Amino acid sequence: MQHNFWLYSVIDRVMLANPQIQSIVEIGTGSGCVTTIFGLWGIHRNIPVVTVDHVNRHHSHVLSRLGVEFLQMDENLPSTQEAILSKIDQKPTWVYCDGGCKSRELKQFAPLLPKNSIISAHDLGTEFRHHIDAIKLCDDGIIKPYHPEWWMEFNIQLAIYMKL
């Protein structure tokens, strides 16, 4: 789905409220709009930013100038999970799930993240549903909803969770 300007404002709010975030991993680069915002945060905080997609549809020279590492990998492969986890290196991270299957991505990475990480899934209400795709992780005490009042604010469609 497309992004609107308000999504970038919510990304800023999350980053400002979570100084413990030491890296950012985006699954599903797309054209690189959200990646660019994350790249700016990487520069601001001097933290690594990695984006993963199975195809290269963005302007790689822009992302490289921002210091964003692009991994062209199938997000469904175990080797991709290993690559992502090696980038996280047990540091609080924001994993932004916006690849081909947000539900699977969230369920796959949420249990593996360090405490106080952020994990989010884009396209809430269309490709991701909290009450179906994340409720068990919440009930099991793995993650908790983070500012759910922001999730559909101006139709940004972003479910955000804090790793417990």
CATH code of the domain in which 16 resides: 3.40.50.150
Segments forming the whole domain that contains residue 21: 5-163
- Cross-strand partners of 160: 120
149 secondary structure, DSSP code: G
Report the domain count for the chain. Answer: 1
Global pTM reads: 0.96
For tokens 């979570």, the residue is: 18
Q: For the segment 7-20, what is each residue's pLDDT rounded down to a tens digit?
A: 999 999 999 999 99
What band does 30 get if pLDDT is binned at 50, 70 and 90? Answer: confident
Average pLDDT of the residues of the chain: 93
Token reading at 63 = 């992302």
Higher pLDDT, 60 or 90: 90
Per DSSP, helices labelled H in the chain are: 5-17, 33-45, 60-65, 78-88, 102-109, 135-139
